[in-house]
Amino acid sequence: MEKQRIGELLQWGKSQLRETKLRTPDLDAEVLLMEVLNAERVVLHVYPEREVEPEQLEAYKSWIRRRKKEEPLHYITGKKEFMGLELHVEKGVLIPRGDTEVVVEAGIEILKKIAEKKGFQKAEITEVEKASRIGELRALDIGVGSGAIAVSLLHYVKNLYMVGTDVSDTPLTVTEINAEKHQVAHRLGLFRGSLFEPVNRGLKPEEREFDLIISNPPYIPYEGKDGLDREVKDHEPEEALFAKDQGLYYYRKIAEEAPAYLKKDGYLIFEIGWDQGISVRRIVEQAGFTGAYILKDLENRDRVVIGKR
C-alpha cells in the first residue's frame, strides 16, 4: 500500500491550497494534517521523514480536496474551540465565532448578578435545592445553532437550567452532542420551532418564565450576501445568517414578545452586527426594556445589546 512521509504530504497539501483564494493556505494544510495524525504542530516539522499510514494519507487528501472547494475548515475537522470548550460542528449549523464569546461573558455576568440578588452563593446550589429545582436560574436561548452559547453558559453557571430552540433538527442534534460532551445535557431542554412557539408548545405555563433570554439571531441583510466570503455564503446555513428588514426582523420579533417570558428584572441579550447597535438598542427600548446598553467586542465594534425588563 502507498505510504508517504509527513514532510512530503504537508508540502503537497500547501501547494494544493495555494491554488485557491484561501487566506491562510499553509496554515490550513498544517491544521488538517495535525488533525489527521492527531499530532501537535511540532511533529510536522521535527519529524518530516516519518511515514504516514495509508488510511491517514487518504483522509488527508480527501480533506484537502474539500478545503480547495472552500468548505469551512471546522466543518472538515468537525471541531471548533469556543469559550475554552471543544465543540462539535457540522454542516447545517453556524460555526461559532470568537465575537460571540463577548455575548456569553455578558450572560455569565448577568446571571451571577441575578444569583447574588436572589441570595445564591456564587451561583451555586445545594444538592437539596438541585433535587427540587428551588432557586434555579432559568434562561432561554433562541436559535441554539451548535449550542455554543447554551452549553458555555451551562458549563460556567452551575445552577442554571436552560431551554434552547431552533427551526431545524441538525442544530438541536449538534447541541445535544455538545451538551452531552460537556456533561450539561441534564440541565438543557431542546425544542424545535421558531421563536417562542416551541416554548408555548413544549413547556407548562409555569415553566415559561426566564431570568434571561439570549439570542444570536440571523442579522445579515439579504443585500449583504454578495459581500460574504464563499466559505460562508456557500456552506453555512442561510437560515442562521440572513434576515429581512435590513437584518433587524428577528430583533423586533423577539424583543416584542420577550417581556411575556421574562421574570421581573429579567434580562434580554442580543448579539448584533457591528453596525446595528443603535438600531437594536432602539428596538429593545421600544419594547419596554429599561436601561438598554451596548457592549463592544475585542475589535471595539458594537457586538451586544442588553435590556432589563
Instruction: Please enumerate, by residue number, every residue annotated as part of a binding site for S-adenosyl-L-methionine.
Output: 143-147, 166, 216
Instruction: List, as residue ranges, the binding site.
Output: 143-147, 166, 216-219
Specify the DSSP element, H or E, that contains 304: strand 302-308
Length of the chain: 309
Q: Which residue has the cell 423586533?
A: 252
Residue 248 to residues 138, 189, 279, 284, Cα–Cα distance (Å) = 26, 27, 8, 11
Looking at the DSSP assignment, which residues form a beta bridge with residue 302? 296
What is the chain's alpha carbon radius of gyration, rounded to the nearest angstrom?
Answer: 22
Crossing angle of helices 54-68 and 25-37, in 10° steps, is: 150
User: Where is the binding site for substrate, in residues?
Assistant: 216-219
Cell of 130: 438541585
Q: Which amino acid is at 98?
A: G
User: If we measure between CA atoms, which residue out of 271, 231, 300, 166 comes closest to residue 25?
Assistant: 231
H/E segment holding residue 5 = strand 4-5
